Amino acid sequence: MPKDGEPWVTVSGKLTKINMAAVKEVWEEYAIRLESGEVVILIGEKVGEFKEDMIGKKASISGVLKPRLRYAGNLTRTVELRQIHSK
C-alpha cells in the first residue's frame, strides 16, 4: 500500500514491452498500453513477476504514481508496480 501522500493508481490494458533509450544505452521496460493508445511505464521489483508469454495479454495492476519518464519523445506516466490483479 502507498505511504501517506503517495498517489495510488490502478491501470488496466495490454501488457507490452517498450524500448527505452539514454545516451548510447537502450533497454526494455514493461508497460501497459491503454485502449486510448497511451503507454504507462511500469517500474519496481514486482515487474519481474511478468513473464514473456504474458506480453500482448490484458493485465490490471495497482501502484504508486512516480515522476514521468521520457519515452518516444514524450513525458510518459510511470507507475511503481505494487500489486498485480490479473495476469
Give the tens place of pLDDT for each residue, 29-55. Answer: 999 999 999 999 999 999 999 988 899
* Three-state SS at 14: strand
Is the pLDDT higher at 43 or at 72?
A: 43
Fold of 8-86: OB fold (Dihydrolipoamide Acetyltransferase, E2P) (2.40.50)
Q: How many helices (H) and strands (E) are present in the chain, helices listed first? A: 0, 5
Provide Rg for the chain, Cα atoms.
13
Share of the chain above pLDDT 90, in %: 75
Domains of the chain, residue spans: 8-86
Which pLDDT value is given to residue 24? 84
* Three-state SS at 48: helix
Average pLDDT over residues 12-16: 96
CB atoms under 10 Å from CB of 61, counted, come to: 25
Distance of alpha carbon 80 from alpha carbon 42, whole angstroms: 6
